[in-house]
Structure 1
Amino acid sequence: MASTRREFLRTSALASTLLLVPKFLHALDRGPGLAGLRDATGARRLIVVQLGGGNDGLNTVIPYRNDLYYKARPTLGIKETEGILALDKDLGLHPALKGLKGLYDQGQLAVLNSVGYPNPDRSHFRSMDIWQSGSGSDQVVSTGWLGRYLDSSCPDCQRPYNALEIDDTLSLALKGSQRKGLALKNPDKFHQINQNRLLSKVSKETAPAHQEQVDYLYKTLAETASSADYLYDKSKIYKSAVTYPNSDFGKNLKTTAELINSGVESRVYYLALSGFDTHVRQHEQQQRLFTDLGDGLAALADDLRQHDQWNNTLVLIFSEFGRRVGQNASNGTDHGTANNVFLAGGALQKKGVINDAPDLVNLDQGDLRHQVDFRSIYANILKDWLGADDTDILGTGFERMSGLV
């Protein structure tokens, strides 16, 4: 057995495999699962969709009856005759977001305008850290808001898959101080990785006594292997026949729906759609990405609705910042501040356009001023949807919102 361990630590091929382990970041170490997850099909769940790169909110939810919008965007502004999908309050969705418009018409979409935070940061990395950590711009926090949800609401849970990121790496949002989510691209590949002969052998062994780092490694391997088996077995229960976009994002949404409809005991799913840093050729880029986003979410809703899971599901869609009000010289937009946020689901308490359109008169050096602190939305989701202590997770210092979900 000792020689096996030495071989395990020395073998370069396996060392490469071990580099994958932090991506799945073990969590939820001991004891029973989250309250309510014994009946996974009836538990409420949250799906977070992150639009990476800083989506241009003004060309997403368009103030198409505001002359200031067209003055600031003489060629980039989208005209009503181009197929804007009308909402309330003289606003309309981008023509490619037909899937979201369908949810809106069914009373299953909420639109929040001018969401941000005080003293905004225009760096992709820093602003994304702020959104994922749920912190103020004057704080540096090493845990994520959903990771702290796991810490706070699941202290004795041993299931690493209670929060799943459908990707190869785990985002800050799902990292707590004690518990972390699990990242996987799809259950089949995740299971294949854990079928490595030596990895499988070592994960079944007991670590040497009084060696904490080795013990941690063995424990992580065992939990990862156990999770891989569970997710692989569950994923065989249901295979979707719904048509999703033939894209990486579409496939990730389909994987999410299959896991949910198979009864996987996860409260949180995290997905990303990247490519929104539209400094140039914004029209073409947004058209492609919004078609993917709208059609994909419409397919997800249809898939879950067919299995009575849509009313138990809440989808949060955000981006790390919006873009500047005025277009740039390359027919695109540069980094800005406040942005829109969407909530979708079959059981929204408030629906439609929730607050006023962005103020295009009272700008902050060419940028939108935020009306809603993003943490107020998080607080509402944590407290009213997930049943958690939002103050313990997010702290204080901002106005809390209620009644959305």
Structure 2
Amino acid sequence: MDRRKFLKQSSLASGLFFVPSFVKAFENIATAKLGYKRLVIIQLSGGNDGLNTIIPHNNDIYYNARPQLAINKDIIKLNDELGFHPSLKPLRPLFDNGELSIINNVGYPNPVRSHFRSMDIWHTASNANEYLQTGWLGRYLDKQGKNPYNAIETDEQLSLAMKGEHFNGIATNDYKVLYRTARDPYFKNVINHYNDAHLSEHNLGYLYQTMIEAKSSAKYIFETTKVSSSKQDYPKNNFAKQLKYVAQFINSGLETKVFYTALGGFDTHANQTNKQAQLLSEYAESVQAFVNDLKRENTFNDTLILTFSEFGRRVKQNAANGTDHGAANNVFVIGKNLKQAGFYNKLASLNNLDDNGDIKYEIDFRSVYATILNNWMDVSTDGIISSNPKTLNFI
């Protein structure tokens, strides 16, 4: 069986190639709950406009800079200065219950306004002038990973954040399809040939091993998750579907520590008002259903949800009734028993912008990561984040 035939006939979902290597394949895995804490990442791709997400409703500079885009009605006022975009109404109970911490002005020195490069920086926890090939969660897996399913991304392709040197997460947008694909007769044929003589990395030995590990992981995920069926109603959109799968994984006792999801479309250079309102509505309604699902099954207390975007938008609107790429942005942290719920810090001054007209960063995003690693995942940042960031006090 040559390389061309192998790749052509396998018809794999791309996620199957993103399973950890150098681990022993297994078929019978215990399904007992480990009781460790879980992290759910929500990536708002495209650069969400943080200034119209958390609105400075008592700030003349904001309204003067955005004569058409500024939100001036139905604002959900959270204090005398800041409020939610109207589409975020489903998150109000979380805020009132002390289950949401909003961290303003999150970014990094010398911000990059390219989508791909800035996202790489967030994924790898690198400096702006540093290029890394592994992600911060991938390095966490290298340090802590023992099972191929320790991290799952609900997509067809794996983000750089989830790729380590020795361990990677699994990417799948449908665990049932993953399982059916792994049961394809071709898999069996591959495994039967695995012990054939003369296999090496030059004749697909590595890929054979990857296929075996994928089959084991797919079986474990499917067999464990199929016993739990969500009773929660979710919105009818792809992002909600991702969170519903994550809830099923968590509520079924899947021994996975990290889940990665994404909602795209936030690159609002033109006609931002309706587009962002719809996306924020999808986000808030889906998160509300997800949290309710976890609370119903008593798994919310052990789950932390982090929402970020690769950058914010410029303070001043552009000529197309949109906003251009900016810098610092807000980050949402959702969980039970947060040390500092509500607003972690004030919005940076709109009177003191950087040279491009963007909000200056106050909190390095790697401090958010470090806090989650130290205070939530109970692991040192050594070998994961090289910049030695200080920890914060939100968890």
CA contact (8 A) 2:25 2:213 kept: no
Q: Distance in 2 between matches of 1:11 and 1:351?
A: 52
Match of 1:65 in 2: 58
Does the 8 Å CA contact 1:87/1:353 hold for their aligned counterparts? no
**Counterpart AA for 1:304:** L
Query: Cα deviation per residue 1:170-217 (whole Å; 9 max; x = unaligned)?
Result: 000000111100001121111122122112321344243451342211
Query: 2:210 & 2:17 partners in 1: Cα distance?
Result: 11
Q: Return the letter of the residue paired with 1:212.
A: E
Separation in 2 of the partners of 1:27 and 1:376? 30
Matches of 1:211 and 1:176, distance apart in 2: 22
Which residue of 274, 295, 304 maps to 1:305? Answer: 295
| 1:6-405 equivalent positions in 2, closer than 5 A | 6=2, 10=5, 13-14=8-9, 17-18=11-12, 20=14, 23-27=17-21, 29-30=23-24, 40=33, 42-79=35-72, 82-88=73-79, 90-154=81-145, 157=146, 159-207=147-195, 208-209=197-198, 211-213=200-202, 214-365=204-355, 366-396=357-387, 398=389, 400-405=390-395
What is the alpha-carbon distance in structure 2 between the residues aligned to residue 202 and residue 23 of structure 1? 14
CA contact (8 A) 1:200 1:225 kept: no
Report the Cα offset of residue 392 of structure 1.
2.5
Partner SS state of residue 254, structure 1:
helix
CA distance, structure 2, for counterparts of residue 19 and residue 310 of structure 1: 31
> Which residue identity does 2:260 align to in structure 1?
Y
CA contact (8 A) 1:111 1:352 kept: yes
Amino acid at match of 2:102: V
| Secondary structure of 2:300 counterpart | coil
1:29 aligned partner, one-letter code: V
What is the CA distance between 1:358 and its match in structure 2? 2.4
* Whole-angstrom distance in 2 between the partners of 1:222 and 1:11: 14
Name structure 1 gaps, 5 residues minimum. Answer: none
Q: Cα 1:353–1:205, aligned 2, differ >3 Å: closer, same or farther? A: same
Number of equivalences: 389
Are 1:379 and 1:391, in contact at CA under 8 Å, matched by a contact in 2? no
In 1: Cα distance, 2:6 partner to 2:393 partner: 55
Superposed CA RMSD in Å reads 1.9
- How many Å separate the matches in 1 of 2:347 and 2:282? 25
**CA 1:150/1:378 → structure 2, altered by over 3 Å: closer, same or farther?**
same
Distance 1:133 1:100, change over 3 A: same
Distance in structure 2 (CA, Å) of the matches to 1:276 and 1:309: 30
C-alpha distance after superposition, 1:43-68 (max 9, x if no partner)? 20000000000000000000010110
CA distance, structure 2, for counterparts of residue 206 and residue 391 of structure 1: 37
Higher mean alpha-carbon deviation, 287-296 vs 23-32, is at: 23-32
Q: Please give the secondary structure, in 1, of the residue aligned with 2:307.
A: strand
Give the conservation status (yes or no) of the 8 Å contact 1:24–1:184. no
TM-score computed with the length of structure 2 as normaliser:
0.94
Distance 2:191 2:118 in 1: 38
CA 1:185–1:31: 2 relative to 1, 3 Å? closer
SS of residue matched to 2:236: coil
Identical-residue share of aligned pairs (%) = 43
Within 2, Cα distance between the matches of 1:28 and 1:98? Answer: 46
Structure 1 residues 208-217 or 286-295, which shifts more?
208-217
What whole-Å deviation, never above 9, does each CA across 1:348-396 have from its counterpart, x for those lacking one? 2221100011210110121110010000000000111001111331013
Alpha-carbon offset, residue 40 of structure 1: 2.9
3-state secondary structure, aligned to 1:47:
strand
Equivalent residue letter for 1:10: K
Q: Quote the Cα distance in structure 2 between the aligned partners of 1:24 and 1:282.
A: 35
Letter in 1 for 2:167: R
